[in-house]
Amino acid sequence: MQLHDDRRLAWSEWGLVEGIPVLFCTGAGMSGWLGFGANDIPNLGLKLIAIDRPGLGLSDPHPNKTLSSWVDDIGEFIQSEDLHDVLAVGFSQGAPFTFALAAGGLVKAIAIVSGQDELSHPSLLPLLHPDVKGTILAIQQDPVGFEQRFSQMATADGLWQLIIGMSAECDRVLYESDTFSQAFRRSLQEGFSQGAQGYVRDLLNALSSWQIKLEEIAVPVDLWYGGLDTSTVHSPDFGATLAKRLPFAERIFQPEEGGSILWTQSWHILSKLKSHLSIA
């Protein structure tokens, strides 16, 4: 679709045409091409909508993309598509963008899956890997310079190697399987098809202090984390601090799952998310 400022917004869909809409905020550098729960979505009466964030995939870049501008874009999308009872799922780096939709009053409930935390929050800084802490400090000291330097370095293949390198063995079994790795890598190639700027801008937004107040989010939030998740850029305490900051959160911690819980537990994630509508 064409937004009011003439930018193009692109997305992928799965499920029922008239299904309950579930917006999917993808992980770092990913286009909306790779979804999840394809077999579960129609059985649950849902429609999964994975939107390419500006500058990724087929969505035109935003000259100054922020969490707030993302909310504006999605608000326009929801109105244009005449969507009601909207739900949302955020995976990994998609978490802050999903929280922003909830804070903006655009969705009825959200699920955060293997989600990135507000890593710049004072209570989490002592728990971070030194490399992550160093990146956050570099962004705080010179965000413009960091964006320029990193945009010249980052690539889809480099991000894929980073993801695999920080993934637990149980996650690599899935990620490196023939069919899944081809789908995941295609999503990253599409995400970087316009260059690295869209990904790097997302990185800055995710690793800076979030311009949203988690403590004021007034919708149900499901926090899904696997105890075997070894990613250094997800929540360092598996959502424990997040759960305390959110008024209406439930933390679902599964010790035998990894960061790939989005794909291994898709039915449970989606069915629980949908249940919040009946409660409301």
The predicted pLDDT at position 279 comes to: 63
Q: Is residue 89 part of a domain?
A: yes
CA distances from 251 to 58, 239, 243 (A): 34, 7, 6
Q: Is residue 4 part of a domain?
A: no
Which residues of the chain fall short of a pLDDT of 50?
Answer: none
pLDDT digits (tens, 9 = 90+) for 13-65: 999 999 999 999 999 999 999 999 999 999 999 999 999 999 999 999 998 99
Q: Is residue 3 part of a domain?
A: no
Q: Is residue 35 part of a domain?
A: yes
Q: Is residue 6 part of a domain?
A: no
Q: Is residue 177 part of a domain?
A: yes
For 156, the domain range is 11-279
CATH number at residue 43: 3.40.50.1820
CA distances from 178 to 40, 120, 123, 182, 223 (A): 22, 36, 40, 6, 29
The predicted pLDDT at position 280 comes to: 53
The predicted pLDDT at position 63 comes to: 87
Q: How many domains are there within the chain?
A: 1
